[in-house]
Chains A and B, each alone.
Chain A
């Protein structure tokens, strides 16, 4: 395998026809929201650029990102993406195992030092020197740091790598940390979601490989083209939200009519993802379309905010005290009302019991 081999050559070697290749280029351009002329530019880039290897690491995770990724319908992961992204290492998908597999990592580092893209699924636990996740006899965090030292950029797949996700939920006994809090000296592209949408994953990786640069990122480090808007902004049930038509119970008339799920705790209004446009499983459906609110799985700490079924979620007020703002605020307001009433009563008592009104000797109604 020559270091100068292009993507196109690799793909042809994997038996992909030119026709499929061009189809893939135009679908990818469309998927990235680019104009038709970009299909040609993507094709040109893939034909002329030396391929960039991708190393896919797995930390603490459930493999749902990989499960999602291999179901990419557009482009089809099996046909195009796996060969195209030249996935040199992925413990879950690769044929090699054991020492053979670890050798591949070493080879990539030697041959493509500073050139390859590191895709991280899951996150490293830091407690007990990282002993909660051991790979090839070493803590995963050491492997991650080593690979990160030699990579060009990092993609943080899913909410685990982006925010921490379930293994980082309170009290986070293993001290699982998102990638950007462990690797501080390399750009980290967050692709959150539990899992992220397959087409979003392939879209991000194709963009990076085809254009040889990071996709435009928002303040949180998420690619703008997929995380630029909330589910709510493009939700097909949005008219019902604006009208004030809500599902009040999962078996009521509103649920049958497809009203807005906000009152059932849908987090669409606060969740940045492409579910309401790209949808899932090749555009088959997505949570709201199936009649259930969004859990907000692409958002930070979505697992630690109390009920998924209330629009008013929990606040961590002090230490371990958690309650909704309405509960805390309502209690405070009631306490204030009672306090005011008591204080008013005391004021009256003070007035009545005063032999003379305070400092009233010189009253002149000035």
Chain B
């Protein structure tokens, strides 16, 4: 696929998010939603239920949903890496951030100015805008891997020594021996994820109104549409 220069006019809508990437996005979003809700209530349980213990499975169900969603999240992440290898160039944006390019940082700076209302001139962005790409990587790669590692390490406490979770993720407790602290960092990660969700949803909806391209619909149809046919670089 061709790259577009700053001065070039775009031919029209561009197909950006392929079907597997879109499916992954929504599954990922759903799993995060379930993980946040159940995770919060595992740390701070719901009010006590009365009656026989054998009649209820509140905490057990919360944990079951949490662990199931965690598998969707973790396996999804794994699949997402595969999609980056096989998908189009936009599928790689999440994984590979061109931090070694000066142009990338200049565009990050431009986006910061744009969001800080310093400039009204918006660049057209086909995939992610550079600032968004940077944060996407921090959250959906760095933080997500952190949550997978700490999460499965905590999961291994239940599956026990010698289990696959223990063999693969038990090393977390070598870095931090206190599992209570690992739990608390995992909980902190949940809040950062929530923070990201708030900002992400706002930014996408804002893009629908105040940028030069579409936001929400791109992750539904896969097509990036533009509101003007000017070149990428603002006039």
Residues of A bordering B, CB below 8 Å: 163, 218-220, 224, 228-230, 233, 239-248, 253-254, 259, 262-263, 267, 269-272, 296, 299-302, 305, 311-315, 324-326, 328-330, 332-333, 336-337, 340, 343-344, 346-347, 350-351, 354, 358-366
**What's the least CB distance linking A29 to chain B, in Å?**
21
28 contacts between A and B (CB under 8 A): A163-B177, A239-B54, A240-B53, A243-B58, A244-B49, A245-B48, A245-B50, A245-B56, A248-B48, A262-B45, A263-B48, A270-B157, A270-B178, A299-B180, A305-B181, A315-B188, A324-B184, A326-B44, A326-B191, A328-B188, A329-B190, A329-B194, A330-B191, A333-B191, A344-B202, A361-B228, A361-B230, A366-B228
Give the residue name and chain of the A residue nearest to B191 (CB).
A329
Q: Report the Cα distance A205→B54, complex, angstroms.
A: 41
Q: A270-B183, A312-B43, A346-B117 are in contact. Are A358 and B53 (CB under 8 A)?
A: no
Residues in B with CB closer than 8 Å to A362 are: 228-230
Query: Taking A243-B58, A305-B181, A354-B120 as contacts, is the C-beta distance between A360 and B228 under 8 angstroms?
Result: yes
Instruction: Say yes or no for B57: interface residue by CB 8 A criterion.
Output: yes
Is B59's CB under 8 angstroms from A333's CB? no
Q: How far is the CB of A226 from chain B (nearest CB, A)?
A: 12
Q: How far is the CB of B43 from chain A (nearest CB, A)?
A: 5
Q: Which of B206, B230, B235 has its CB near the most chain A CB atoms (within 10 A)? A: B230
Q: Separation in Å of the B169 CB from the closest CB of chain A?
A: 11
Q: Are B161 and A312 within 8 A (Cβ)?
A: no
CA distance A173 to B183 in the complex (A): 28
Option from B45, B46, B198, B210 in Cβ contact (under 8 Å) with A340: B198
Decide if A244 touches B56 in the complex (CB within 8 Å). Answer: yes
Q: Are B228 and A333 in contact, with the CB atoms below 8 A?
A: no
In the complex, what residues of A have CB within 8 A of residue B49's CB? 243-245
Q: Tell me the complex Cα distance, A101–B59, Å.
A: 56
Asked if B155 is an interface residue, CB under 8 A from chain A, the answer is: no
- Whether B187 lies near A326 (C-beta < 8 A) is yes
Q: A219 touching B174 by the CB < 8 A rule?
A: yes
Residue B110 at the chain A interface, CB threshold 8 Å: no
Q: Is B199 interfacial (CB 8 A cutoff)?
A: yes
Chain B residues in 8 Å Cβ range of A324: 184
**Nearest CB of B to A304, in Å:** 9
A229–B160 contact, CB under 8 A?
yes
* A312 and B191 in contact, given A242-B60, A243-B56, A358-B122 (Cβ under 8 angstroms): no
**Contact B209 A347, beta carbon cutoff 8 Å:** yes
Q: What is the distance, in angstroms, from A362's C-beta to the closest C-beta of chain B?
A: 5
B195 at the interface (CB under 8 A from A): yes
